[in-house]
Amino acid sequence: MVRFVEENTKHMEKETGNISNTDVTTVKKKVLQDLSINNGGGLVNSWVNSMRACSPTHLKSLMKQSSWLTEHPPALDMFEEILHVSEGKQIVMFLDYDGTLSPIVDNPDRAFMSKKMRRTLRKLAICFPTAIVSGRCREKVYNFVKLTELYYAGSHGMDIKGPAQGSKYKEGKSLLCQPATEFLPMIDEVYQKLVEKTKVTPGANVENNKFCASVHFRRVDEKNWSDLANQVGSVIKEYPKLRITQGRKVLEIRPIIKWDKGKALEFLLESLGYANCTDVFPIYIGDDRTDEDAFKILRDKRQGLGILVSKFPKETNASYSLQEPDEVMDFLQRLVEWEQLRSGA
């Protein structure tokens, strides 16, 4: 196990140049977390247990809703305060897709966004630079959203593209960032293997997200979760350059490079000309564990704010909460109305 951790850490060093001791520790921690899935046996259950632990009933009993809401107040109730702290700063919007703009559904191919949400997003993108940051591949999330005037960061931020047209925030040159292109053949290969390996598990579904892959547990009977996690582990253990992270009833298989939704947020702010600016106010709204990387960046930098979409108390680096996509839409709509009033548009 030690050798595996060392090899992955070395690989990270190669990928990212010189990294600090803190980074090395973080990577080792990540690799060890991955190993708890990859090594099979009793360890594979740690992921399944973690997924169960994330279930609403368990979370409810762990944390009291009322004290959680005190720590992460509803963003709609705090709207005026949020506007107050953003005063004089350029708001930049970052939005996750699944569970934030569209409701969580059993079939990932049917996670449609409402027309009203699309209309709101279109107006939002006129008011502020707006990016969608998703675990899905960029093309897929674009096909759901269908707005050319937005920035899209697909595959957990590993595939970033600027607006095709219609955005007043568009840079002169076209923006494209794909830090994991060398992994494309590997992800393709792993995707095929995962499809083959998991087909014995009823309800399992593997999604090819271009620079990463998702194995869905949502339609799998809970008694088969350990089997499915074992199948995934048995494929991934042959690929030390890949790691596994957990989303909502999904395992995400991605390159072990130092890139995530937080890095994507930083990259986009820099591309928009707001690197190290004090007069920028990024707002990131997301519902997933993978959004925590972005919430953490904002919290650490004391810049802007993160809003977690959740009906139940959860450990989070976000400052505020919204319960569901309908509340996200109300929040975005209020932002639009406020900006239109403010700018006299």
Closest approach of ligand L263DTV3 to the CB of residue 277, in Å:
26
Name the token pair of 250.
């999904």
Of 254, 273, 94, 245, nearest to 184 (Cα)? 254
Closest approach of ligand L263DTV3 to the CB of residue 223, in Å:
18
Residue nearest ligand L263DTV3, Cβ-based? 135
For 63, the 3-state DSSP assignment is coil
Q: Could you tell me which residues come within 8 angstroms of residue 116 by beta carbon, excluding any fewer than 6 positions away?
A: 329
Q: Is 8 or 214 the residue whose CB approaches ligand L263DTV3 more closely?
A: 214
The length of the chain in residues reads 345
Taking the C-alpha atoms of residue 25 and residue 9, their distance in angstroms, rounded to an integer, is 9
Which position among 34, 98, 159, 292 is part of the footprint of ligand L263DTV3 (CB under 6 A)?
98
Q: Is 310 in the site for ligand L263DTV3 (CB under 6 A)?
A: no
The DSSP line for 124-181 is HHHHS-EEEE-SS-HHHHHHHH--TTSEEEEGGGTEEE--SSS-TT--SSPPEE-TTG
Taking the C-alpha atoms of residue 37 and residue 229, their distance in angstroms, rounded to an integer, is 7
Q: Give residues 239-268 in contact with ligand L263DTV3 (rule: CB under 6 A).
A: 247-250, 252
Q: Is 30 or 254 the residue whose CB approaches ligand L263DTV3 more closely?
A: 254
Closest approach of ligand L263DTV3 to the CB of residue 106, in Å:
6
Which position among 54, 104, 186, 277 is part of the footprint of ligand L263DTV3 (CB under 6 A)?
104
Asked if 301 and 312 touch (Cβ cutoff 8 Å), the reply is no
Size of the site for ligand L263DTV3 (CB under 6 A): 24
Q: Is 331 in the site for ligand L263DTV3 (CB under 6 A)?
A: no
Q: Give residues 108-167 in contact with ligand L263DTV3 (rule: CB under 6 A).
A: 108, 111, 134-136
Of 245, 199, 189, nearest to 37 (Cα)? 245
> What is the contact surface with ligand L263DTV3 in residues (CB under 6 A)?
96-99, 104-106, 108, 111, 134-136, 207, 209, 214, 216, 218, 247-250, 252, 288, 290
